[in-house]
């Protein structure tokens, strides 16, 4: 289980690193857009992201 967690974190870091390396100006624009969103919208976005991730994990392991 720890190996799976380390693998998942490693994959996330690879993708995030590539996005920052290949499109730093895009990241800056996206972060600025996030700063302009109201707190409730950010909470909803985070909740939807967590639910989507949970559904993906359920689909992979249960089906």
Q: Give the count of alpha carbons within 13 A of 60, CB side only.
A: 6
Kindly report, residue by residue over 1-12, the tens digit of the pLDDT: 899 899 999 999
Q: Indicate the DSSP class of residue 51.
A: H
Give the relative orientation of helices 2-22 and 24-36 as an angle to the nearest 10 degrees: 100
Kindly report, residue by residue over 10-39, the tens digit of the pLDDT: 999 999 999 999 999 999 999 999 999 999
Number of domains in the chain: 1
Q: Is the pTM of this model over 0.85?
A: no
Q: Indicate the DSSP class of residue 29.
A: H
Range of the domain at 7: 2-62
- Euclidean distance between CA atoms 47 and 12, whole angstroms: 18
């Amino acid at each position: 289980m720890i190996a799976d967690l380390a693998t998942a974190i490693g994959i996330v870091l690879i993708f995030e690193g590539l996005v920052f390396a290949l499109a730093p100006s895009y990241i800056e624009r996206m972060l600025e857009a996030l700063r302009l969103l109201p707190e409730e919208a950010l909470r909803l976005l985070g909740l939807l992201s967590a639910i989507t991730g949970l559904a993906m994990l359920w689909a992979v392991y249960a089906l």
